Amino acid sequence: MIHPGALSIALSVLHLLVAIAISFRVIMRKPPVGVALAWLFLVAAVPLAGVGFYLLVGERRVGQRRARKIARLRIDYERLAELAITEGLTDVDWTTHRREAAAMDRLGVSQVGVPTVSGSRVELLKDADSILRGIAADIDQARNSVLMEFYIWNQGGAAELVFEALKRAAQRGVSCRLLVDSVGGRPWWKGPQPAELRKAGVLCRPALKAGLWRTIFARNDLRLHRKIVVVDGEVAWTGSMNLVDPKFFKQDADVGQWVDAMLRLQGAAVSPLAMTMIGDWMLETDESVDEIIRCAELRMVEREGTGDIQVIPSGPSETDDGLLQMLLALINSAHDELVLTTPYFVPDDSMVRAIRGAAGRGVKVHLVVPNRVDSTLTHFASRSYYDELLEVGVQIYLYDQGLLHTKSVTADGDMAMFGTVNLDMRSLWLNYEVSLFLYGQDLTGPVRELQGSYIDASKRLDPAEWTNRSLRERFLENVLRLIGPVL
């Protein structure tokens, strides 16, 4: 029989050794100083539980197998980028843009490895019914391939048009591949539609499967948050909207219908969007890039239109902080006006400082967020940032005609970010996202006009009224701010 004193000593020694090992790991990974000190304190103060919590959410672990695949994927991206350069798609005339645009292009190449492509035509759609009908119509025109990935697919309404179009495409011999996130799309995966699609010939895979066993090797809360459709390598869709009809989606959340926008693209920008989806498919399967290109009969696209677009995919182990660097550069490029729309505003410190700095140097900064969101925790965490923004003159608008879900940033009306990334730490550090950086007034103008319609439908937050909220609310906001990275 083990003596209680000896057991206590053994557990203390075990905790000390594990705490030292974890502390060494934290120090060697060089996180921000405040983050590192918080983890060191937690690991030392809370026996074993602190260690367990660190192993659960302290690192962006993707798992060794996925990390190896991502490393191989970079080689395929480089090979396809060389093909694009050969075709002249990256020959952008930067003299037609302001100096900051060329600098952002260089930043994207150095941080993410993706250059701007020239020769795209873009159409902005802001009505869910038109978006879903448009996607279905494009799929019905498919001759060779359909590539699709979404965070959420939800049955009902006009989403059924896309479902039926995808079935018809596969039945007539079109190569169809579909990824839907395993957690975001969990209700859909449990329903009958995946089996129906597979029966029709669609290759369907859940992305980033979650489970207790997976927790041992990788984080369970890394999510595929991208929304991409590519048809025949000639037409692509991306933006903030999941494959849902808002009239049939989360109607019990008391936030109104979700308000989204999507871009329909033709020309040069289709290729990097297709490669982003193909890369995700390769990570979930054992197919090679050559096999996918052969089956889907994909080819390098021709120039169509004059738009210059940089497609920036991001995610753990893929791009590190490349997307954040691009967003900071866009914010810092603003001279006169900066407009940001996002459903979830829980930014990291560098983004808060950049936005405050823009307002401080005289830029008119407008932040548009929904008045109600589907997460109470995120709602209060977001509010914790309002004081420091209002005090430097940032104008905050609360949109109350539904859950504003569009993710966009425009600088001076001639450069923009439009895509899937929320301005929160989850999107920046934990989710797999795709963002389009649009250069020039022709592409940015429609996005700025859309932002203006959101502002017109919002109520501006009054600084005087805001300061009168209760101490309880302030305390709750600041407490939830501390867990912002995992909301």
Mean pLDDT estimate for the chain: 87
H-helix or E-strand spanning residue 166: helix 159-171
Strand pairing category for 407-411 and 415-419: antiparallel
pLDDT at 26: 75
Among 105, 232, 245, 348, the active-site one is 232
Residues 145-162 have a mean pLDDT of 97
Looking up tokens 């501006």, which residue turns up? Answer: 460
Q: Is the pLDDT of residue 211 over 70?
A: no
pTM of the model: 0.89
pLDDT at 282: 86
DSSP for 37-92, written as a single string: HHHHHHHHHSTTHHHHHHHHHSS----HHHHHHHHHHHHHHHHHHHHHHHTTTT--
Q: Taking the CB of residue 247, how many other CB atoms lie within 10 A of it?
A: 14
Among 97, 167, 227, 379, the active-site one is 227
Least reliable range by pLDDT among 13-17, 48-52, 424-428: 48-52
pLDDT at 405: 97
**pLDDT tens-digit series, residues 16-64:** 777 787 778 778 777 666 667 767 777 777 766 777 767 666 666 555 5
pLDDT at 339: 98
What 3-state class would DSSP assign to 241?
coil
Alpha carbon distance 238, 276 (integer Å): 11
Alpha carbon distance 201, 173 (integer Å): 8
**How far is residue 295 CA from its own chain's centroid?**
28
Q: Which two tokens stand for residue 104?
A: 């952002």
**Residue in 428, 430, 426 with CA at minimum distance from that of residue 484:** 426
User: In a 10 Å sphere around its CB, with 0-12 CB exposed, 13-18 middle and 19+ buried, how is residue 287 labelled?
Assistant: middle
% of the chain residues with pLDDT over 90: 59
Residues 215-222 have a mean pLDDT of 63
Q: Is the pLDDT of residue 226 over 60?
A: yes
Point out which residues pair with 460 in neighbouring strands.
397
Q: In angstroms, what CA-CA distances link 431 with 183, 242, 434? A: 12, 15, 10
199 is catalytic: no
Reported as a pLDDT band with limits 50, 70 and 90, residue 78 is low
Among 138, 280, 412, 414, the active-site one is 412
Q: Is the pLDDT of residue 169 over 90?
A: yes
pLDDT at 89: 84
97 is catalytic: no
Q: Is the pLDDT of residue 298 over 70?
A: no
More confident residue, 71 or 433: 433
Q: Is the pLDDT of residue 216 over 60?
A: no
Least reliable range by pLDDT among 35-44, 60-69, 334-343: 60-69
405 is catalytic: yes
Alpha carbon distance 234, 394 (integer Å): 41
Reported as a pLDDT band with limits 50, 70 and 90, residue 76 is low
Q: Is the pLDDT of residue 247 over 80?
A: yes
Q: Is the pLDDT of residue 84 over 60?
A: no
pLDDT at 481: 81
335 is catalytic: no
For residues 396 and 389, the answer to whether their CB atoms sit within 8 Å is yes
For residues 436 and 409, the answer to whether their CB atoms sit within 8 Å is no
More confident residue, 319 or 329: 329
Among 97, 126, 167, 225, the active-site one is 225
% of the chain residues with pLDDT over 70: 84
For residues 240 and 128, the answer to whether their CB atoms sit within 8 Å is no
Q: Is the pLDDT of residue 434 over 90?
A: yes
Residues 197-206 have a mean pLDDT of 97
Residues 363-385 have a mean pLDDT of 93
Among 126, 181, 405, 414, the active-site one is 405
Residues 246-256 have a mean pLDDT of 90
pLDDT at 102: 96
Least reliable range by pLDDT among 264-273, 291-300, 424-433, 460-469: 291-300
Q: Is the pLDDT of residue 356 over 90?
A: yes
247 is catalytic: no
348 is catalytic: no
Q: Is the pLDDT of residue 445 over 90?
A: yes
Looking up tokens 């367990």, which residue turns up? Answer: 52
Residues 109-136 have a mean pLDDT of 94
Q: Is the pLDDT of residue 4 over 80?
A: no
Q: Which two tokens stand for residue 400?
A: 């109350």
Among 138, 366, 407, 414, the active-site one is 407
More confident residue, 203 or 379: 203
Reported as a pLDDT band with limits 50, 70 and 90, residue 113 is confident
Alpha carbon distance 355, 361 (integer Å): 10
Alpha carbon distance 23, 308 (integer Å): 46
**pLDDT tens-digit series, residues 464-487:** 999 988 888 888 888 888 766 655
Q: Is the pLDDT of residue 291 over 90?
A: no
Least reliable range by pLDDT among 129-138, 312-321, 389-398, 472-481: 312-321
- Give phi and psi for 91, each to the nearest 5: -80, 80
Alpha carbon distance 330, 320 (integer Å): 18
Residue 7: partners with Cβ closer than 8 Å, 6 or more residues away? none
Alpha carbon distance 266, 242 (integer Å): 20
Q: Which two tokens stand for residue 189?
A: 């995966």
